[in-house]
Structure 1
Amino acid sequence: MHMAETSATNEATTREFTITRVFDAPRRLVFTAWTDPRQIAQWFGPVGVTTPLSTVSMDVRPGGVWQLRMIDDADGAEYPVAFTYREVVEPEKLVLSARVPTGPAAVAGEVLLTVTFADLGDRTEMTFHVSGLAVGEENAGLESGWSSSFDRLAEQLTGDAPTSSGAPR
């Protein structure tokens, strides 16, 4: 892979990662789990975090915004999240950009999330790719956090999730 040269101003570099999961649910159901606020409130965020439905707003169209707030079950810390839809191809693909928070390690530009949904009949292969992440401590846990979210999504899709919205287990 060719890396672009960086200037002498010690710019932060970026990294990317991909998570692929096969869910025991048809593609349309998995896609809907990504675009329905009620379902997002059930699975979004790693274990130990709640995403109240009242904080979720979604305008699922190119240029539309998806916002939510995750709340740490242990200490009540709040983590606002905002994405902008770049591409919506139902039920095959979502491309979203995330606003990069300001801070010492922030990189000018945006983080891009691409989620594709491959139809495997009664199952769906979801490929989740993130690019443009700043290399730094603030992003170190993102991959494991997303993976934990997808564990919760798998439980929800198979009916093993709790029925109450966002309640801690």
Structure 2
Amino acid sequence: MPPAETARNQRAPAPESRLPGPSPGLPSPTTGAEGVTAAAFPADVLDRPSLAAALDAAAERFGGIDVLEYSPAPHAPVPGHTLAVPTEVTADNLQSQLEYLVYGAPAAARAVLPAMRQAGAGTLLFTTGGGSVHPIAMLGNVNAAAAALRNWDLHERRDQSCGSCWPSCSASPE
């Protein structure tokens, strides 16, 4: 994607119930000295319609989304989320990780890809932990979900119907 003279930063960080207004430390939409405009659009990756609505609101506010960066990470205890070593992984503790880490990614991509295809440009970034590539035993269920997101992204990248939109997955180093 060619560099732009100004950058637009949209956030869809957390459920509205936990984030009733702008993110802490991020006032209402502002433009900084460097020409970077930022605004928060609360959403919940577990509530895919709210995620799509937040991305739609961001696109409306900023005239489109050039880059989608998706990296859900719990910042507070999430009910039902537990860590499990591989021998203790169950369908239930794996399902909660899949819901949290994986299922929002295709929903978010589907919300922004049509406009990116129409514009002929766009970037999708999906970030996982290093365990998606080099598993860590104490994160057996988390690693499996992160690897599923990475695998989905690798296949999405090979899908030529994306046109000039470029998906990419980054695994954080351990």
TM-score greater than 0.5 by the shorter chain: no
Query: Higher RCO, 1 or 2 (CA under 8 Å, sep at least 6)?
Result: 1
Name whichever structure is richer in strand by fraction: 1
Name whichever structure is richer in helix by fraction: 2
TM-score under structure 2 normalisation? 0.26
